[in-house]
Chains A and B, each alone.
Chain A
Amino acid sequence: MKAFKKHTGILATLNRSNVDTDVIIPKQFLKSISRTGYGPNAFFDWRYKPDGSHDEDFELHHPRFEGRSILVTRNNFGCGSSREHAVWALAQDGYEVIIAPWKEINGERVNAFADIFRTNATKNGMLVVELSEDEVDIIFEHVEANHGLQATVDLHEQRVELHVDDKIIFNFTIEPGEKKQLISGLDDIDLTLRFESDITRFEETHDPFFGR
């Protein structure tokens, strides 16, 4: 697995919430039996016109996002289908980090990213960063005002630094296990196989036909 430690790149904004994995990579591309070739098809229905040409109106196609590698978007990104192809498509389309806001609804905290999407991203060395709505709004404003705005995302320090004159820094939280996995880039099957004797011992008394 690819390790993630620190990344500097151009920010691109997608002002939509609840972006689902059907939109990120539509069904017709799930027929592939390979892990590669998904990049040009990320956001397919938004990206191309019916005749197959590039849709210049699609917000991520704005010229100022040329060379972007950090996607900044809204709440509940990656919801819906469990398809890991969504993460493969984004990674192969050049995104290394995705930033989205957690939100408060009815007094409860609602995560920025859908659970399965977050796990899939981590397994592919892609960092997802959860910030507050205010912080994400500030990033949207600065991206709007500065063509080709860059940011540095430092996983070790758990912070996002916008490359603006008065230096804006946001700290983020991340589960320690997820952070460790991303920084090490180790294959998690290899990691689990270190505990193979525990699994074998567990199986001696566990009946998987009844789950007891």
Chain B
Amino acid sequence: MGKTLFEKIWERHVVREMPDGSALLYIDRHLVHEVTSPQAFEGMRHAGRRIRRPELTFSTMDHNVPTTEDRMDIKDPISRAQVEALRKNCREFDVTLYDLGDDHQGIVHIIGPEMGLTLPGLTIVCGDSHTSTHGAFGALAFGIGTSEVEHVLVTQTLLQRKPQSYKVEFTGRPTPHIFSKDMVLKMIGTMGTAGGAGHVLEYCGEAVRSLSMEARMSICNMSIEAGARAGMIAPDETTFEYITGRERRFAPRGKDLERALAFWQSLPSDEDAEFNRTLVIDAGSIKPQVTWGTNPGMVIDIDQPVPGPDSAGGYSRADVENALAYMGLTPGTRLTDVPLDVVFIGSCTNSRIEDLRLAADIFKGRKKADNVQVLVVPGSQQVRLQAEAEGLHEIFKAAGAEWRYAGCSMCLGMNPDQLQPQQRCASTSNRNFEGRQGKGGRTHLVSPEMAAAAAVAGKFVDIRKWKEEL
């Protein structure tokens, strides 16, 4: 029987099989940020341990960092202490750090691919659940907790039970104004927020093949929102072109690249590989998606009314009532009728250059509505520089949006970018959990085009009709 992409990578990384069925798995890349690492470094210090492979460990600041002009001066003393702790730890343990102020600083899941740290066939971990993003390259990438961060730092391995495999096939082609964000939200709505638990998803099908690397990353990024351990896409010409098409600091070159390409081409799942579960979604029938509730599975088509306790499938009455109360919505409401307060374009889900181009295309020659504050936060300083080279920042500014520096920003509001209680936000991020963007804040997840159009209209619009009417 053939093997899946996941199995091929898994088998290459097993250092030792354990009697209980788990495996000691070798880790090729360890990405580290300021929030989930300090306790791991502290544990190493107490035990007198060192990092086994500091040259495979890469670090940046993203969660806490301010995104405003004065960002170098972190005013919150606790955030500042955490950022300073990472600087100290990286110095002491000899880890490469892309510090605040560096041209390569940014959200850890944006800078990894950008610098060629993310490559097909690798095992990649980070103390962050959105590590699944890197799976878009055909890498096995997943989030870990701080105890596991320490384990990887010391041993360059993790003890893991082998997850099961789950094939998600998107057939057909998405219609205009339907993006990978809509595809993955549709999937989470279908599968549920725990539907992928214990599994590694492999996204395939014509609709996935046709996507750019940026769009593929948005899909893999949200695998965790379906509860999956990881999400992957087989490497192909699009992948190779992304890696080799421009200067990427850590990507192989010359003879190394030839060897690497031969290896990468061997990775896609074999024709006769079997998956534990399969889900088929017709990409051609997907409409613009928008979340109405307090988890990413509580999602509807933009032209559907907000469901009630009896019409929201898969959720208990109590869950739906709690979600509606928190979101300040009543069943039957059209989200296109509900005014917004904030629009956030950013996060490791949708802050890459393509996302910003899509948003800029909507903002061009238009102004944001008076009732909304609009934040455009590039995922990395490289994305920021690229956007500025293309003049996108001028479009955002002319539209009345705030053009920021790189970081996680309002995706989780660990920095000063937060929603106020009851503020309603159209967000290109990944989680609409209670309090995620700020205590009492109400988040609706959408694609970058939907978010930008909402900023102009001051409320949600059906992007398909809205574009036609222009």
Contacts and interface: CB of A to CB of B under 8 A. Distances in A.
A and B held together in a complex: yes
Interface of A: 15-18, 20, 22-23, 26-28, 30-35, 45, 50, 74-76, 79-85, 87, 103, 105-106, 108, 110-111, 114-116, 119-120, 123-124, 175-177, 180, 188-189, 191-193, 195-196, 198-199, 202-203, 206, 208-212
Contact of B24 (A23, A124, A198): A198
Given A83-B35, A177-B159, A203-B156, 6 more contacts: A34-B39, A35-B39, A84-B147, A110-B194, A192-B151, A211-B119
B122 A123 contact: no
Nearest to A113: B197
Contacts of A30: 35-36, 63, 414
Contacts, number: 222
B154 A188 contact: no
Contact of B38 (A33, A50, A198): A33
B319 A120 contact: no
B15 interface: yes
Given A76-B193, A199-B26, A212-B263, A82 B316 contact: no
B192 to A, nearest CB: 6
Contact of A199 (B139, B157, B433): B157
A79 B157 contact: no
Nearest to B161: A175
Contact of B197 (A20, A74, A110, A180): A110
Interface string B33-76: 00110110010000101001100100000011000000000001
Given A32-B78, A33-B38, A180-B20, A23 B295 contact: no
A31 B79 contact: yes
Contact of A108 (B128, B195, B256, B434): B195
B193 A199 contact: no
B192 A211 contact: no
Nearest to A196: B155
Contact of A208 (B53, B163, B318, B414): B53
Contacts of A123: 145, 147-148
A165 B178 CA distance: 59
Given A33-B38, A202-B15, A189 B78 contact: no
B433 A20 contact: yes
A187 to B, nearest CB: 8
Task: With a 10 A CB-CB cut-off, give which of B35, B194, B431 has the most chain A CB atoms.
Answer: B194
B260 A193 contact: no
Task: With a 10 A CB-CB cut-off, give which of A45, A84, A120, A191 has the most chain B CB atoms.
Answer: A84
B314 interface: yes
A210 B433 contact: no
A115 to B, nearest CB: 5
Given A23-B433, A189-B151, A116 B143 contact: yes
Contacts of A111: 194, 197-198, 227
B144 interface: yes
Contacts of B106: none
A211 B144 contact: no
29 contacts: A30-B35, A33-B39, A75-B194, A76-B194, A81-B128, A83-B36, A84-B39, A84-B147, A103-B194, A105-B195, A105-B314, A106-B195, A110-B194, A111-B197, A115-B198, A119-B148, A120-B147, A175-B21, A177-B18, A188-B151, A192-B151, A193-B155, A198-B15, A203-B156, A210-B119, A210-B122, A210-B256, A210-B260, A212-B263
